[in-house]
C-alpha cells in the first residue's frame, strides 16, 4: 500500500506521520492532501487529550445524574381555632396584632397546623395529633414552627422532595394582606424550600358560619411532594436497581 505498511500506521504514530509525508510525494498523496490535512485518515485522531478529557467529563456528569424514579403525592390539611381574649394571633409563624387571641393548646397557628397535616398526609404518616398529642403538656404553648419542621424532616427522611406548599386562610379578621410576604418567607424558611414554592391566600365566608360570625378562623392547606417510587418490596427504585 502507498505510504508504508498499514500495520505501521495502525500501531505507531511516528510511522503514520512518516507515511503521510510519503503520500504527499506522489500523485495520490496530492489528491488526498485535503483529507490528510483534516486528519480524516489518522487512526489516532480519537486519542487526543481533549477528546479523552471530554470522555471523562461525560462520565462524571453521568455519575452525577440523579436517576431516582419519583412519584408525586398530594396531601391536604385543615385546622380551626376559636378566638378568645388577647391582642394577637400567630399565622404562618408571624405574630399579627388583633383585637383578640386564639384558644389553643399550642400557639394556635392554623396555617402551620394545616401544612403539617398536609405533609403528613402526603407521606401517609398519621396527623399532627399523632405526633404531637394535645394531652401532652410538653406541647402547651409550643411554637408551631417545630411541628412543620418535623413533618418536613419526615418527608426528607423518606428521600422525598417538597415541591409546593399552598395555604388558604378563612377569616373575617385579622386581614393578612400586608403580612402575606412575611408569612411566605417564614414558611419557606421553616420548610427549607424556595419562597417561590409557597403560596398564601385568604378569603372570608361572606358572614356565614362561625368564621363569618368572627368566632374563630381556619386554614386549609395542600402540599405537593415527590417520593421515591416504591419497588415490589416497597423500597425505592433507582435506575432499575433497588436502593435501601
User: Which residue ranges are tagged as binding site?
Assistant: 79-81, 105-106, 113, 127-129, 203-206, 210, 213
Residue reference for cell 500506521: 9
Contact between 237 and 67 (Cβ < 8 Å): no
**8 A C-beta contact, residue 75 and residue 118:** yes
- What are the grid coordinates assigned to 34, written together? 485535503
Q: Which residues pair with 90 in a beta bridge?
A: 95
Q: Rounded to the nearest 5 degrees, what angle is found at the Cα of 62, between the Cα atoms of 48 and 69? A: 165
Let me know how many helices (H) and strands (E) the chain has, helices first: 10, 9
Residue 61 is placed in which grid cell? 456528569
Q: Where are the alpha helices (DSSP H) in 90-240?
A: 110-122, 128-131, 145-157, 180-191, 209-212
User: Which segments are annotated as binding site for a divalent metal cation?
Assistant: 79, 81, 113
| Dihedral (CA of 48, 54, 55, 60) sign | positive
Q: Say how far apart CA 65 and CA 50 lie, in whole Å.
A: 23
DSSP state of 107: -
Helix (H, G, I), strand (E, B) or coil at 169: strand
Amino acid at each position: 500500500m502507498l505510504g508504508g505498511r498499514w500495520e505501521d500506521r495502525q500501531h505507531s504514530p511516528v510511522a503514520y506521520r512518516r507515511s503521510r509525508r510519503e503520500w504527499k510525494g506522489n500523485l495520490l498523496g496530492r489528491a488526498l492532501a485535503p483529507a490528510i490535512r483534516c486528519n480524516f485518515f489518522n487512526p489516532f485522531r480519537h486519542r487526543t487529550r481533549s477528546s479523552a478529557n471530554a470522555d471523562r467529563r461525560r462520565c462524571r456528569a453521568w455519575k452525577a445524574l440523579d436517576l431516582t424514579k419519583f412519584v408525586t403525592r398530594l396531601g391536604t390539611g385543615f385546622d380551626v381555632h376559636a378566638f378568645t381574649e388577647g391582642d394577637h394571633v400567630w399565622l404562618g409563624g408571624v405574630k399579627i396584632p388583633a383585637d383578640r387571641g386564639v384558644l389553643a393548646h399550642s400557639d394556635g397557628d392554623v396555617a402551620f397546623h394545616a401544612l403539617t397535616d398536609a405533609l403528613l398526609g402526603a407521606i401517609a404518616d398519621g396527623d399532627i395529633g399523632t405526633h404531637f398529642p394535645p394531652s401532652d403538656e410538653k406541647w402547651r404553648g409550643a411554637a408551631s414552627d417545630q411541628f412543620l419542621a418535623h413533618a418536613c424532616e419526615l418527608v426528607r427522611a423518606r428521600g422525598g422532595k417538597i415541591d409546593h406548599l399552598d395555604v388558604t386562610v378563612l377569616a373575617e379578621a385579622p386581614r393578612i394582606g400586608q403580612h402575606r410576604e412575611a408569612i411566605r418567607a417564614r414558611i419557606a424558611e421553616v420548610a427549607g424550600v424556595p419562597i417561590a414554592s409557597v403560596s398564601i391566600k385568604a378569603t372570608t365566608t361572606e358572614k356565614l358560619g362561625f368564621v363569618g360570625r368572627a368566632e374563630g378562623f381556619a386554614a386549609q392547606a395542600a402540599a405537593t411532594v415527590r417520593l421515591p417510587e416504591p419497588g415490589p418490596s416497597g423500597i425505592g427504585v433507582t435506575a432499575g436497581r433497588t436502593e435501601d
